[in-house]
Homo-oligomer: A and B are copies of this chain.
């Protein structure tokens, strides 16, 4: 009895490097296929074919189709949320936050990832659009996106002490949808050849659009 209680369960072995590679390949393929066809339009066989593996492996590494979809969403949402919150904290250290600074902290991390990370992050944006359009993923969206969004809404609320949070939240929802529109429409236009749309060059435009919009909503007396 050298290792004690844990012995009761089957010993677990660290996953081999090879399996980690194929797992990543499967997840990336799933991201691409889900982004292009949506949840129902995608098939496990399409994913397997794109990943260059056999069908059973997709289930083995990704679980059920729903599990796989949720996992794909969650892994990038987590990374993105951390980047966003980190950017916000960093900016806070430099002094009081402005509305444009807050929005920039929210938008910039994704856009920079899309520029450097390439196709996978661009696919993720389309995935988020699918998730937002389909009420079946309501819980998933709430769980993945709402906490971080709440922090940013709080930061904006601090700038407008007399504006109800609901008004700020509505403006923030509009802003996020505008960001998704920017990314997905760019993707659409450039998908006929240019694999790397220069989406970041429109960041300032997007930020000024949303900042002016939120500011207008927050100043309107009818929102009191």
Contacts and interface: CB of A to CB of B under 8 A. Distances in A.
A220 B205 contact: yes
Given A135-B36, A138-B188, A184-B133, A209 B204 contact: no
A81 B218 CA distance: 31
Contact of A174 (B135, B178, B191, B214): B178
Contacts of A176: 181
A20 interface: no
Contact of A180 (B37, B177, B216): B177
Interface in A156-193: 167, 170-171, 173-174, 176-178, 180-182, 184-185, 187-188, 191
Interface string A201-212: 010111011111
Contacts of A64: none
Contacts of A198: none
Contact of A222 (B132, B134, B171, B204): B204
Interface stretch (A38-46, A55-63, A144-152): A38-46
B213 A133 contact: no
A174 B38 contact: no
> Chain A contact residues: over half helix, strand or loop, or mixed?
helix
A205 B38 contact: no
A36 B134 CA distance: 7
Contact of A209 (B41, B185, B216): B216
Nearest to A42: B40
B220 A214 contact: no
Contacts of A185: 173
B133 A206 contact: no
Contact of A208 (B126, B134, B187, B216): B216
Most chain B beta carbons < 10 A, residue from A135, A174, A188 = A174
B209 A214 contact: yes
Please indicate which of the listed interface residues A129, A204, A212, A214 has the most CB atoms of chain B within 10 Å of its own CB. Answer: A212
